[in-house]
Amino acid sequence: MTTATIPIWTLRDRDFHWGDRTYVMGVLNVTPDSFSDGGQFDTLPGAIAQATSLLKAGVDILDIGGQSTRPGAKQISVEEEQQRVVPVIEAIRASTDAQLSQMVISVDTTRAAVAREAVRAGADLVNDISGGTFDAAMFATVADLGVPIILMHIRGTPETMQQQTDYADLINEIYDFLARQIETAQAAGLDHSQIAIDPGIGFAKSYPQNLEILRQVSVFRQLHCPILIGPSRKSFIGWLLQQPDPQQRVWGTAAACCAAIAGGADIIRVHDGDAMVQVAKVADAIWRQRLPEYCVNPT
């Protein structure tokens, strides 16, 4: 399994060699209403403590979001989203902890203005759950900023998306959407090498459709972009396990992440940093034949 033809991303002081191993993106929701951890990290001290915890767990990217995208979530103002996100990024960059201050940071936003202010504050890339469809200025803004972008598939908005799960051909429709958005981004000045993709598990997808995406992750490798998969704690896992509490879905998340990695996912986006870093290491040893550096004398 390899995606070695995809150019390396260099963010901060580290290189992302796509296909070499699975990279782990840790979620930091600075929101009061996210589905899994809303209200837990929406103060500056709480956010910094969680960022530090994810750093110690070994995540590769910290994904900071100020707008909940759970099903039915209401949209807040641009100003409020900026007020939630930017101070956290600034505090991380100003940290006296050298490792924390140099964490690779993604801003989880669909708004060009928020992306611009976040990158100015120190974010390294943009994670847009709308695939660039919610804000017509997003692609030109990201091209101007000179940072990578992750494009996710969605239908409708978080308020309406779960009423839009009727597909004639699920995988091909997701694929075609992502291909179109890659072309649109390139037309706006973004280089193909700076684009990653996400088929959008949990966004305008039924529970069985999420499982089908996990079975067919490898199809999206034909787009020649790094692939992000974000199954963490999502409701399809709760459906399968009859577990209403998202924070009790760690083992189900682990299984979904293993499936994603087996299919060629380059990034897994997760809440449970320590557990999923371990999952990625073992999955990489199995499917990428990549042992951790300290495993020098296997027995």
Active site residues: 234, 269
Tell me the C-alpha distance between 210 and 215, whole Å.
9
Cβ within 8 Å of residue 94, ≥6 positions away:
101
Contact 51, 13 (CB under 8 A): no
Helices (H), the chain: 44-57, 78-93, 98-101, 112-121, 138-145, 170-187, 207-215, 235-241, 250-262, 273-283
Extract the tokens encoding 80.
Answer: 């409020």
Two tokens, residue 48? 């910094």
Rounded Cα distance between 23 and 18, Å, is 9
Torsion, CA 223, CA 227, CA 228, CA 229, rounded to 10 = 90
Please list, in sequence order, all residues whose beta carbon lies within 8 angstroms of the beta carbon of residue 23, skipping any fewer than 6 positions away.
Answer: 16, 60, 61, 266, 267, 268, 280
Write phi, then psi, for 180 (nearest 5 degrees): -65, -40
